[in-house]
Amino acid sequence: MNKLSIIKIGGNIIDNPTELAQFLTDFSKIEGNKILVHGGGKSATKMAQSIGLVPQMIDGRRITDAPMLDVVVMIYAGEINKNVVAQLQAHNTNAIGFSGADGNLIQSTKRNHPTIDYGFVGDVQKVNTPLLETLLNSGITPVFCAITHDGQGQLLNTNADTIASELAIATSEVFDVTLTYCFEKAGVLTDVEDENSVIQQINSALYSKLKEEGAIHSGMIPKLDNCFNSLSKGVQKIRIGHHRMLQNTNAICTTIEL
């Protein structure tokens, strides 16, 4: 079975041109099949505030009303996605940028929560694995932004960590998949102020304990929830850490285990 690397890049790297350039250099050197997934929440927040919108977040997830949807589509699927694709082409990585609507690659349903109206937020239902396999086998590197669609013409803001997880689950049927979450920290930390407090291995029991103690909270919770879901559905390996681990096999990071 051919190997596939799925890398999700966090917003703090995207917002830093120097860090982004280094990440894309390292990403372009990964051999074999690869997929890049990016968010861009901080850029979307800045744009929203500049036009008078007030961003709202609940448990690390964005509330997306119609005006905010316009902003995230513009920033995620437009500015960030095409900038990343252009830089990868400069590194001779033949990338194509996608939303979930393109080629019907990722279809979602609008979130139906019993108490919270998340607005135009999508929960992934289906990945077009045959088309994705064709693209990868043709030497294409897909670059996914955090926008999907419902199959009825509606675009939906969708958590990028979840997109990476669902792509990993779907492609694990035909590839040996490693899923890597890259952000500005060295891994999952017990103390966000201490870069040396990396938890190098987390299993489900330790995760539950750390959540109860409040050591893991906010946006890290949906990220880790996605990790454990992926492992239970066929993904071979998951790592979380700084992008330097892409080229430095000795770099400290967090490995997720069931």
Give CA–CA dist 185/41, Å, rounded: 17
Three-state DSSP state, 245: helix
Give CA–CA dist 107/207, Å, rounded: 30
pLDDT, position 187: 93
Q: Is 39 annotated as a binding residue?
A: no
Q: Is 157 annotated as a binding residue?
A: yes
pLDDT tens digits, 24-69: 999 999 999 999 999 998 899 999 999 999 999 887 678 999 999 9
Query: Residues of the chain with pLDDT > 70: what percent?
Result: 100
Q: Are strands 61-63 and 56-58 parallel, antiparallel or unpaired?
A: antiparallel
pLDDT tens digits, 199-235: 999 999 999 999 898 888 877 888 899 899 999 999 9
pLDDT, position 178: 94
pLDDT, position 247: 84
Band of pLDDT at residue 190, cut at 50, 70 and 90: confident
Token code pair at residue 165 = 């997880």
What CATH number was assigned to the domain covering residues 3-256? 3.40.1160.10
What are the structural domain ranges in the chain? Answer: 3-256
The gap from C-alpha 11 to its chain's centroid, in whole angstroms, comes to 10
Give CA–CA dist 68/3, Å, rounded: 37
Q: Are strands 141-144 and 95-98 parallel, antiparallel or unpaired?
A: parallel
Give CA–CA dist 126/123, Å, rounded: 10
DSSP state of 80: I
Q: Is 241 annotated as a binding residue?
A: no
* CA-wise closest residue to 110 among 100, 121, 101: 121
Q: Is 16 annotated as a binding residue?
A: no
**pTM: predicted TM-score of the whole model, two decimal places:** 0.94
Whether residue 96 contacts residue 81, with contact meaning beta carbons closer than 8 Å, is answered with no
